[in-house]
Amino acid sequence: MLYQIHKESSDKSMITLKSEREIQLMDAAGDLLAACHKEIAKMIKPGVTTMEIDRFVEKFLKQHGATPEQKGYNGYEYATCASINDEVCHGFPRRQPLKNGDIVTIDMVVNLNGGLADSAWTYAVGEISEQDRRLMEVTHRALELGIEAAVVGNRLGDIGHAIQSYVEGEGFSVVREFTGHGIGPTIHEKPQVLHYGEPGKGQRLKEGMVITIEPMVNVGVWQTSRDDNGWTARTQDGRNSAQYEHTLAITKNGPRILTSQD
């Protein structure tokens, strides 16, 4: 679940390093979240509603002893965020059926025995345009490049630069109003993880940090506007947006993806 950007505090002591036990709990939550996304992938087709998906997710998590952590967060009412086409993030599940040619991002945070994991995935609904297919491919690759830069000794700016330089080189734009974040034991912790930036700048990555990387990539301009519901952000020009997100731990052996679907 995305974090709206704000001026970062200079107090680096607020960044908490996680123990191996904490990371193992988050890894278990991540495995369950990944399994849930695999089930969602089977459901996505024209005619299904995102409200049906939301209800499935809540039931699936309950059956496995977990809860949707974002439900109730700052008054948010649903187990998932479901953002369709030009919606960038925080879309509400709804009863209107998905249509052939839509793209939809399902984002959720899972709490399993106190361990949290956060992951978003964009899905094609039926046959989509070549432009949207490429948008999804570029966004997914941007996530991979951001993760590759998330190594001990690098800085947050290295992650953002890897994402931004690739995305813009492919002719798309990176949303700037929302960011990745630290996670565990609460949804949103420091640091903010920008998906744009300069290499060698920002907080240095240390072993034990657990963060989300979750680039939102737009076909057109990167700027967003907010719906009257106070949550849903969409592209200002009405063109489509995609997002992929993993939760990962920074380790001495490289980034450890806690929400991998592989």
Q: Which residue from 189, 119, 196 is spatially nearest to 156, judged by alpha carbons?
A: 196
Q: Which residues are annotated as a binding site for substrate?
A: 90, 188
Q: Tokens 């709990």 label which residue?
A: 25
Burial of 114 (C-beta count, 10 Å sphere; 0-12/13-18/19+): exposed
Bind-site residues for a divalent metal cation: 107, 118, 181, 214, 245
Rounded distance between C-alpha atoms, residue 240 and residue 220, angstroms: 8
What stretches of 28-177 adopt beta strand conformation (E)?
Answer: 66-68, 81-84, 87-89, 103-112, 115-124, 173-174
Distance of CA 26 to the CA centre of its chain: 16
Closest by CA position to 29, among listed 200, 246, 255: 246
Q: Which two tokens stand for residue 70?
A: 């974002």
Q: What is the H or E stretch that residue 249 is in?
A: strand 246-251
Annotated binding-site residues read 90, 107, 118, 181, 188, 214, 245
